[in-house]
Amino acid sequence: MAQARLTIDLAALRANWRSLADMAQAEAGAVVKADAYGLGLSQVAPALAAEGARRFFVAIAEEGAELRRILGPGPEICVFSGHMAGDAGLIRDAQLTPMINSIDQMLRHVESLPGHGFGIQLDSGMNRLGMEPAEWSALRDIALSQHPALIMSHLACADEPDHPMNARQLQAFRQMTDGIEAPRSLSATGGVLLGPDFHFEVTRPGIGVYGGLPFVDARPVAFVDLPVIQVRDVEPGETVGYGNTWTAERPTRVATVAAGYADGILRTMSHKAHLWAGETRCEVLGRISMDLIGVDVTAVAETPESLELLGRHQSVDTLADWAGSIGYEILTSLGARYARTYTGA
Ligand SMILES: *Cc1c(COP(=O)(O)O)cnc(C)c1O
């Protein structure tokens, strides 16, 4: 079988969520947007619900509706994009809680779904989503009289603990919300790690649950193994892959493995990436193709059936470094072609 394998350890996922939840004296939510960071909403969300998550966050109403089908009634499902035109049916039928981002969204919400719950998203400086202070002061009294389920904002630099933006946003959020009864939420994974000042009543961890930085103590959740299709010996002067970008300087044994940039093994990782055969580190040779990668297995005594890309030796952040990216992008790029196995359920 030439299908690459993606194994997702749900026990590690649950343990990561539990660790992040236990770091704060607050209710821990769970962010499961983008198909649970590419790892599979229908497996990840029930695992986190079983671990105790009661409040889930998604990016758009369609994701929320899918999540409701998976989880059934009960857990709160908050939608970061708020209440967009055309969303009323989904929000009502799936009992979603839109995070209202503007006065326009507020009007749309109360006109189309009077009495239906909502939250408020405030902009504390990131300038991405949410109401700015002036808009919020205009709406505040009316919004609060409807008892919002949550008042939230998002930190732009929480993965850099010493960044002055963190304190600035904390102060801005406090100025907009101090004295309000509704539960407040400011922190994703990075904010949880910044400490109690940032925790408020609800936290929103995402990447740390999936095994990524800035949660350095996270257990790895995603494991990727690539089957070897063919092995050949090349002589000095021979090249490997598109564009002849790698030339052998000594006799080299080359394994061709079955995965490529269509599987989220980004082409920009070429010439930096390596895989593992047991405890032996094997360099990627030449350019990563769409479905194939050449790997130096000269040092491996017996040709392995597969090589490890993600797992015990290297994390999503290792791969991200090769690609000049972040663990989030590695996970959400993995794609649909893998044979997926879920363990630890
Ligand atoms: C994605 C997201 C989160 C989760 O962030 P992580 O860094 O993955 O923990 C929390 N809140 C908002 C608004 C987000 O967009």
pLDDT of 309 > 90? The answer is yes
The average confidence (pLDDT) of the chain is 98
Instruction: Work out the pLDDT band at 281, boundaries 50, 70, 90.
Output: very high
Does the pLDDT value for residue 291 go beyond 90? yes
Q: pTM for this structure?
A: 0.97
* 209 Cα nearest atom in ligand 1: 9
What DSSP character marks residue 218? P
**Given pLDDT bands bounded at 50, 70 and 90, which one contains residue 263?**
very high
Domains detected in the chain: 9-210 (3.20.20.10), 222-343 (2.40.37.10)
Instruction: Respond yes or no: is residue 242 known to be catalytic.
Output: yes
pLDDT in tens, 205-239: 999 999 999 999 999 999 999 999 999 999 999 99
Ligand 1 center–CA 204 separation, angstroms: 6
Whole-number Å distance, alpha carbon 43 to ligand 1 midpoint, is 19
Burial level of 164, CB count in 10 A (0-12/13-18/19+)? exposed
Q: How far apart are CA 61 and CA 92, in angstroms?
A: 10
Verify whether ligand 1 is closer than 6 Å to residue 218 (CB atom). no
Which atom of ligand 1 lies at the shortest distance from residue 207's CA?
8
Distance 188 CA to ligand 1 centre (A): 5
pLDDT of residue 267: 97
**How many other C-beta atoms lie within 10 A of the C-beta of residue 76?**
18
The CB of 207 under 6 Å from ligand 1? The reply is yes
Q: What size, in residues, is the chain?
A: 345
Active-site residue 33, yes or no? yes
Of 153, 149, 131, the residue nearest 203 (C-alpha): 153
The predicted structure's pLDDT at residue 157: 98
Give the active site residue among 37, 210, 242, 338. Answer: 242
* Predicted local confidence at residue 53, as pLDDT: 98
CA distance 259 to 272: 16
Nearest to 182 by CA among 298, 265, 97: 97
**Residue type for position 46:** P
Confidence of residue 162 (pLDDT cuts 50, 70, 90): very high
Mean pLDDT, rounded, for 234-261: 98
Note the pLDDT of residue 223.
98
* Residue 189 CB–ligand 1 contact under 6 Å: yes
Cα–Cα distance for residue pair 325/170, rounded to 1 Å = 27
What are the phi and psi torsion angles at 225 (to 5°)? -125, 135
